[in-house]
Amino acid sequence: MMLIQCPWCGKRDENEFVCGGTTHIARPPSAVTDAVWGAYLFFRENPKGVHLERWRHTWGCGQWFNAARHTVTHEILAVYRMSDPVPDLSAGGAAS
């Protein structure tokens, strides 16, 4: 069971959250090729390692936030707000 740090409520059980998938995906303008639009909708890095992703504290405060999480260890290296830039993860994680 992961303990996830909601930026508003603090550490809570994984059961209270829903993962919203990869974050920081920029929507292309509407006049683009099918390949660009397909890439935007469906094609992902799917990394075996650190993944920047969205979570929602659905059965808590209901807020969305971003997390940097390792997809093998499930360690959460950083939690940051939706509009924040990608945090510097080189120091080995900012999770408190």
**The binder of Zn ion chosen from 2, 19, 39, 61 (CB under 5 A):** 61
CB of 16 to another protein, least distance (A): 9
CB of 51 to another protein, least distance (A): 6
Beta-bridged to residue 11, according to DSSP, are 5
Compute the Cα dihedral for 62, 67, 70, 71 and give only its sign: positive
Q: How many whole angstroms separate alpha carbon 86 and alpha carbon 66?
A: 9
Q: Which residues in the 8-67 window bind another protein by CB under 8 A?
A: 13-15, 18-19, 21, 34-35, 37-39, 41-48, 51, 53
